[in-house]
Amino acid sequence: MSDRAELTRLTNTGNGNGNGTCGEKDCPNVYRTAKGSFLVQGDLANAFTPPTGEGLVEIPEETLREAFRALGW
C-alpha cells in the first residue's frame, strides 16, 4: 500500500480543471501512486461483498472524467 505522501491527487485539486465541488474536503477522489497504479476514494458501496482485503467504493462519473483530463486521456 502506498504512503499518502507518495500519492498524486488527480481530482478536486482546486486548479479549475474539474467540477471543484469538494475543494480540499474529503470527497470522491482519484489518486495516482508512485508506481503508476490508482487509488479511488468514495462512498462505501454494498452492491456485493468483495474478497478479503478488497473494498467497493462509489464515485461520480465526473470524478473519473476529471482524473482522465488530469492525465491527458
Domains of the chain, by residue range, sit at 4-71
Band (15; pLDDT cuts 50, 70, 90): low
- What percent of the chain lies above the pLDDT cut of 90? 67
* Residue-level pLDDT at 30: 93
Length of the chain: 73
Contact by Cβ (8 Å): 31, 37: no
Q: What is the pTM of this model?
A: 0.75
Q: Which helix (H) or strand (E) holds 40?
A: strand 38-41
Strand partners, 32: 8, 38
**Closest by Cα among 73, 17, 44, 1 to 9:** 17
User: What amino acid is encoded at 28 in this protein?
Assistant: P
Q: In the predicted model, is pLDDT for residue 18 greater than 60?
A: no
